[in-house]
Amino acid sequence: MLGAIAGDIIGSRFEGEPAPRPGFALFHPDCRFTDDTVCTVAIAAALMGDRDYARALRAFVRRHPDRGYGGMFRRWAHTDHAPPYGSWGNGAPMRVAAVGWLAADEAEARDLAAAQSAVSHDHPDAIAGAQAVALAILWARRGQPVPALRARIVHAFGYDLRPETALAARGFDVSAAGTVPPALAAVFEATDWEGAVRTAVGLGGDADTLGCIAGAVAEAVHGLPSDIARTARACLTEDLDAVVTQFATLLSGRH
Ligand SMILES: [Mg+2]
């Protein structure tokens, strides 16, 4: 999950800006955690608790109100008991990382990914995007090598993950269907975590969310370097960091 957070923080200063040049500094004084981190941590907290995803999202968003939320999501989060609003946005896959680490098998990963998505993002594209990210993490941490992992995702979700198309220049795309394939392709083409996130953030557009999703999956595929993990954690507030600690403790007890 810290891979998602680090990717969000690294991409944060390029959101909606021109694509950064290769070799950009990973961490910079302008970097900060954004909505991607807040929602990722909220879903992790809910998964470790009562699994009331909507309540957790609302509580975390209200505690961190100024983190770059989309307008529709912000309204939903500030309205008690608001129903899902048909969103096909990348908000569902960007917050799903913890599911990939906690799910015991494919069926549970699909169910949890869909459930956390459907409280707000109930469009089939958003649910599929969240399931693809969760399954990529689950299969990678089970030791699936990249070629097999890529093939399984293509087969299950029909995404085009060929680098020449998935990593082609794009505009500002906040759809799940337009964000998950490039983020996954960035991971599958890279040889380490940093390379994956550099490729994803380097696409520009919704750079923090591309970095978040790529960082989440790359943590399971390539491993997260400890210095990057440490620097990312230092950017968090105490309440978010406490959930990260709780999550790490839970995982270390399982493996
Ligand atoms: Mg963001």
Cα–Cα distances (Å) from 66 to 62, 121, 217, in that order, read 9, 20, 26
- Give 98's pLDDT tier (boundaries 50, 70, 90): very high
d(CA 155, ligand 1 centre) in Å: 29
DSSP letter for 159, please: -
Kindly report the number of other CB atoms within 10 A of residue 10's CB atom.
30
d(CA 77, ligand 1 centre) in Å: 15
Q: Two tokens at 162? A: 């060929």
In a domain, 77, yes or no: yes
- Residue 169 pLDDT > 90, yes or no? no
- CATH number, domain of 229, equals 1.10.4080.10
In a domain, 151, yes or no: yes
In a domain, 149, yes or no: yes
User: How much of the chain, in percent, has pLDDT values that exceed 90?
Assistant: 96
Residues 171-227: pLDDT tens digits? 889 999 999 999 999 999 999 999 999 999 999 999 999 999 999 999 999 999 999
d(CA 31, ligand 1 centre) in Å: 11
d(CA 38, ligand 1 centre) in Å: 9
Q: Contact at 8 Å (CB) between 12 and 32? A: yes
d(CA 50, ligand 1 centre) in Å: 26
In a domain, 246, yes or no: yes
Specify the number of domains making up the chain: 1
d(CA 255, ligand 1 centre) in Å: 31
d(CA 8, ligand 1 centre) in Å: 7
Q: Which residues surround ligand 1, an ion (CB under 5 A)?
A: 34-36, 68, 208
Domain enclosing residue 216, as ranges: 2-18+29-254
Classify residue 85 by burial, with Cβ atoms within 10 Å: 0-12, 13-18, 19+: middle
Residues 119-161: pLDDT tens digits? 999 999 999 999 999 999 999 999 999 999 999 999 999 999 9
d(CA 92, ligand 1 centre) in Å: 12
d(CA 208, ligand 1 centre) in Å: 5
- Give 16's pLDDT tier (boundaries 50, 70, 90): confident
d(CA 33, ligand 1 centre) in Å: 8
| pLDDT of amino acid 121 | 98
In a domain, 24, yes or no: no
- Residue 170 pLDDT > 90, yes or no? no
In a domain, 23, yes or no: no
HSE of 73, CA atoms in CB hemisphere, 13 A: 29
| Mean pLDDT over the full length of the chain | 97
> How many Å apart are CA 194 and CA 25, to the nearest integer?
11
| pLDDT of amino acid 255 | 60
In a domain, 140, yes or no: yes
